Structure 1
Amino acid sequence: MASFENLVAMANYQEGLREARKIIWRDRGQPVIELDTLRECLDHALRGGLRSAGLAFSIRALVNLVLAIIRIGNVPRDYRPALIRHALFGEDTWRFSAMLGTFTSLYKFLINALPILIPAMNPSSKSNASLELPMHVTAPSEKAAGELNPEDRRRQRLLSLTAHAQLVLIRKRVRRWHAALAGAVAGGLAIMCENRSRRGVISQQMFVRGLQGSYNAYAAARNFQFPYGDVIVFSLACGQIMYAWLLRRDTLPRSYTAWITSASKVPPEAVRINHDLVRTHGFNLKDFETLLAKPDTTGRNKSVLLDFLDRFSILPKVPTSENPYTYLPTVLPSASSALMSSAGVAISRDNPESWYLPFYAQCRATHPAVSSCTLSFFDRFFAVFKWILPIYGGLHFVPAVLFKMEAFKRDPGRVLVRAGLGSMRSSAFLGVFVSLYQIVFCSKHKLHRALTILRNSPTSVMFKHIPQWLIDWLLSKPAFWLTGWIAGLSILVEAKRRRGELAMYVLPKGLESAWVMARGKGLVFRTGKWGDVILTAMGMGMVMSAYQNDPQHLSGLVRRMLYQFIGPN
Structure 2
Amino acid sequence: MQQQRHETGSERDGGAFLQLRSLPPALRPLVRAYLLGYASAVAPRLLTLILQHLSRRRTKNKKTLPADVDERTFVESVVHVLRTGLAPQRFPTFCAALVGGSTLLQVATGLGDTPRLRNPPEKAGLTRVLVRLARWLASFVAAWFSLRLLQSKQGLPRRDSASAAAAQADRDAASRKKFAGRTLDLTLFAATQAVDVIVGELWSEHRGRRTAAQKWTKGEQFISRMIDPLAFVASCGPIMWAWFYSPESLPRGYNKWITSAAHVDLRLIEALRRFRSGELRYTQETGQAPLLGAMCKDYGLPYQLGDPVKVVPFPCGIVHMGRGPSCEYHAWRRFWLSWRWAMYTYLPLALALQLRKPTRKSPLLALLSASRSSAFLATFITLFYYGVCLGRTRLGPHLIGKDVPCRQRIDSGLCVSTGCFLCGWSVLIETASRRKDMALFVAPRAMATLLPRRYAADKQWRETLAFAASTAVVFTCALENPRRVRGMMGGILGLTMRN
Q: TM-score range by the shorter chain?
A: 0.7 to 0.9
How far, CA to CA, are the matches of 2:126 and 2:45 in structure 1? 40
How far 1:306 sits from its partner (Å)? 2.5
For residues 169-568 of structure 1, the aligned pairs below 5 Å read 175-194=131-150, 197=157, 199-223=183-207, 226=223, 227-282=225-280, 287-288=291-292, 291-292=295-296, 294=298, 297=299, 299=300, 302-303=301-302, 305-309=303-307, 312=309, 356-358=312-314, 363-372=316-325, 373-401=327-355, 405=356, 407-408=357-358, 411=359, 413-446=360-393, 447-448=395-396, 474-475=410-411, 477=413, 480-516=416-452, 528-555=459-486, 557-568=488-499
Given that residues 228 and 435 in structure 2 are in contact (C-alpha distance below 8 angstroms), is that contact kept between their aligned partners in structure 1? yes
Unaligned runs of 5+ in 1: 1-10, 34-42, 133-171, 313-353, 457-467
Give the corresponding residue for 2:92: 97
How far, CA to CA, are the matches of 1:378 and 1:527 in structure 2? 52
Name the SS for the 2:342 alignment partner: helix
Name the SS for the 1:175 alignment partner: helix
Name the SS for the 1:515 alignment partner: coil
Whether 2:78 is the aligned partner of 1:84: answer: yes
One-letter amino acid of the counterpart of residue 249, structure 2: T
Larger Rg, first or second structure (1 or 2): 1
What's the TM-score once normalised by structure 1's chain length?
A: 0.64
How far 1:46 sits from its partner (Å)? 5.3
How far 1:421 sits from its partner (Å)? 0.4
One-letter amino acid of the counterpart of residue 234, structure 1: F
* 1:518-549, Cα deviation, whole Å (9 max, x unpaired): x99xxxx9984345433321321221121011
How far, CA to CA, are the matches of 2:488 and 2:461 in structure 1? 28
Given that residues 174 and 549 in structure 1 are in contact (C-alpha distance below 8 angstroms), is that contact kept between their aligned partners in structure 2? no
Kindly tell me the number of residue pairs found equivalent between the two proteins: 421
How far 1:516 sits from its partner (Å)? 4.0
One-letter amino acid of the counterpart of residue 145, structure 2: L
Whether 2:46 is the aligned partner of 1:56: answer: no
How far, CA to CA, are the matches of 1:306 and 1:455 in structure 2? 20
Change (3 A) 1:188 1:436: same
Choose 445-454 or 555-564, whichever is displaced more: 445-454
Give the corresponding residue for 2:161: none
Give the corresponding residue for 1:126: 121
Given that residues 391 and 418 in structure 2 are in contact (C-alpha distance below 8 angstroms), is that contact kept between their aligned partners in structure 1? no
How far 1:453 sits from its partner (Å)? 7.3
How far 1:78 sits from its partner (Å)? 5.3
How far, CA to CA, are the matches of 1:473 and 1:53 in structure 2? 53
Give the corresponding residue for 2:212: none
One-letter amino acid of the counterpart of residue 470, structure 2: G
How far 1:130 sits from its partner (Å)? 9.4
How far 1:474 sits from its partner (Å)? 4.4
How far 1:414 sits from its partner (Å)? 1.7
Given that residues 96 and 193 in structure 1 are in contact (C-alpha distance below 8 angstroms), is that contact kept between their aligned partners in structure 2? no
Name the SS for the 2:193 alignment partner: helix
Name the SS for the 1:356 alignment partner: coil
Q: Percent identity?
A: 19
One-letter amino acid of the counterpart of residue 190, structure 1: S
Give the corresponding residue for 1:24: 17
* 1:422-455, Cα deviation, whole Å (9 max, x unpaired): 1010001110111111111012111445677756
How far 1:192 sits from its partner (Å)? 3.4
Q: CA RMSD in A?
A: 4.0
How far, CA to CA, are the matches of 1:116 and 1:479 in structure 2? 56
How far 1:54 sits from its partner (Å)? 3.8
One-letter amino acid of the counterpart of residue 100, structure 1: C
How far 1:277 sits from its partner (Å)? 1.7
Give the corresponding residue for 2:168: none
* 1:253-298, Cα deviation, whole Å (9 max, x unpaired): 333222212211211121111101221232766643652464xx1x
How far, CA to CA, are the matches of 1:559 and 1:512 in structure 2? 22
How far, CA to CA, are the matches of 2:119 and 2:332 in structure 1? 63
How far, CA to CA, are the matches of 1:437 and 1:107 in structure 2? 44
Change (3 A) 1:478 1:50: same
Given that residues 239 and 482 in structure 1 are in contact (C-alpha distance below 8 angstroms), is that contact kept between their aligned partners in structure 2? no
What's the TM-score once normalised by structure 2's chain length?
A: 0.73
